[in-house]
Structure 1
Amino acid sequence: MGYYINVEPGVNLYCEDINPKGEKTIVFLHGWPGSHNLFEYQFNQLPKLGYRCIGLDQRGFGLSDRPFEGYDYNRLSDDVRFVIDTLGLNNVTLVGHSTGGAIAVRYMARHREYGISKLVLCAAAAPSLIRRPYFPYGQTREAVIDIIRGTYHNRPQMLRDFGTIFFYQEVGEPMKDWLFRLGLMAASWATAKIANTWLDEESLFFDLTAINVPTLILHGVHDAVCYFPLGQAQNELIRNSTLVPFLNSGHALFYEEQGKFNLELRKFIET
């Protein structure tokens, strides 16, 4: 079932709630520039095993409202808090992919892990998506500026280019087209403003050290978006964390090794 949750005047977020009677709840935060549909291959399987799966479309993306403002990590994590409060959720496993992982990290620090018992970061854009003088492992600043420029001047081409680095395995044109269409659903201004957030957001280094709940880090070793050293840094900064490398995946590990992804998620939740 799907419904909208009001998070501020004039802004409603779409939630896909699959198997609402499930005994254990997983909330999924998608990466840029997609929607909850990126987790389709988890939603196909996990509810069969008794899990309640909630896929949230962040503001500006998927089926959610598209305000012109509100795309920093603070506001996006506050949106997650509105959803958790409105639905009365507790003992949740929070799963964040890519930018959704960065939002999850900010949520854990800013909202003091409210309602969350376990955290899963998959190909997460933390502690920094771009390289910095003290963190030489991310994308170049120029590469992100090119994404922003491409969003404003030729967004379809920018999305096509992004699709070429999203997967490590050869997935075929239909899958690339599917990813492309998900990206086109987003507001162009939301797409650009999220990318702009990557340039100046540095507080995630501190946010990671504030996480106390058990944390599972899943990361493709061939990730060409959020490089594998980001996962290693998360593992070093989160005191109660485990890193599981995905040897045959890039940024789309939830699809490229979906069997392993779903199994690792289930094992983590059940322990």
Structure 2
Amino acid sequence: MYIEVEKDVRVFVQDLNPGPSSKTIFFVHGWPLNHNMFQYQFNVLPQYGYRCISMDIRGNGQSDKPWGGYSYDRLADDIFVVLEQLKLEDIILLGFSVGGALTIRYMSRYEGRHVSKLALVDAVSPSFVKAPDSPYGIPKEQANALISQMYANLPKFLSDLSVMFFNRNKGSEMLNWFINLGYQSASYALIKILQAASNEDVTKDLSQIHVPTAIFHGIHDQLIPYQSAQLTQQQINGSQLFPLNNSGHGSPIDQSDDLNRLLMQFINTP
């Protein structure tokens, strides 16, 4: 289905296992991907009665691809419109990578409306770029170089990124799948979202989260170091950190069985 989030901008939403359900999980994907990155969750979780709803962030996947509107605030607003339109309540909001940053901004910007629990998976938090209060990010110059690479040679950029994404050799088929997900996005959208990640952070948003929060993070993450997850956990009151010992940045794929099990445990804990 499609939901209009602002005039002439529609985002694609997939709803698996709708109807009476004990729990609804709303998935927000990472960059440079789309909702299909969660297929190893969608293959399993509905079997246990979970309703799994996911959206393609504007500019990505099957969503409209406007030229503008890629700030953290606007993308968080898109999440809010979708949750409102679907009349969802007491959901588990799950954000991966940049989607993690967007869900954090959403929780702060909308005071956690519609959400009973938050799950952050390899989240870009507190920041993507190194800052005084978030020292584990990459240098600003490196972020600018990544953006320049996308302008110059997007296929090589996605190919190089695919190798860094996983902890283990997943084979050429998996890497090609990852790259093809990136090709389903508008290149200007990928550039603008990475620019937003480079210029924004969610440090001040973390203290505004007041629901049970689980942080799942690969200890071999080459893109968002595990220390960033530890710092995030320290700043969200009462949150729990679950290290994924065999994962890089792509833990929903690297360690899908363990992530699914831990996620269900978190959801089912009173």
* Same fold, judged at TM 0.5 (above): yes
1:84 maps to what in 2? 83
Whether 1:236 aligns to 2:234 is yes
How big is the shift at 1:107? 0.2
Mapping for residues 202-221 of structure 1, pairs under 5 Å: 202=201, 204-221=202-219
1:168 maps to what in 2? 167
How big is the shift at 1:170? 1.2
Mapping for residues 24-173 of structure 1, pairs under 5 Å: 24-173=23-172
Give me the whole-angstrom Cα distance separating, in 1, the residues matched to 2:244 and 2:23: 25
Deviations 1:222-265 (A, max 9, x none): 00011111110111000020000011100011111111100011
Name the % identity: 42
How big is the shift at 1:132? 1.6
Give me the whole-angstrom Cα distance separating, in 1, the residues matched to 2:37 and 2:148: 25
Answer whether contact 2:134 2:228 (CA < 8 A) is retained: no
Mapping for residues 249-264 of structure 1, pairs under 5 Å: 249-264=247-262
Give me the whole-angstrom Cα distance separating, in 1, the residues matched to 2:15 and 2:125: 27
Give the SS at the match of 2:153.
helix
2:181 maps to what in 1? 182
CA RMSD of aligned residues (A): 0.8
Give me the whole-angstrom Cα distance separating, in 2, the residues matched to 1:27 and 1:131: 29
1:194 maps to what in 2? 193
Q: Which amino acid aligns with 2:85?
A: T
Give the SS at the match of 1:26.
strand
Give the SS at the match of 1:93.
strand
**TM-score normalized with structure 2 length:** 0.98
Q: Which amino acid aligns with 2:239?
A: S
Give me the whole-angstrom Cα distance separating, in 1, the residues matched to 2:41 and 2:198: 31
Give me the whole-angstrom Cα distance separating, in 2, the residues matched to 1:216 and 1:174: 31
Give the SS at the match of 2:120.
strand
Q: Which amino acid aligns with 2:138?
A: Q
Give the SS at the match of 1:31.
coil
Give the SS at the match of 1:136.
coil
Q: Which amino acid aligns with 1:94?
A: L
How big is the shift at 1:134? 3.4
Mapping for residues 259-270 of structure 1, pairs under 5 Å: 259-270=257-268
Give the SS at the match of 1:6.
strand
Q: Which amino acid aligns with 1:71?
A: Y
Q: Which amino acid aligns with 1:168?
A: N
State the number of aligned residues. 268
Answer whether contact 2:219 2:245 (CA < 8 A) is retained: yes
Give the SS at the match of 2:118.
strand
How big is the shift at 1:147? 1.7
Q: Which amino acid aligns with 2:220?
A: H
The gaps in structure 1 that reach 5 residues or longer are none
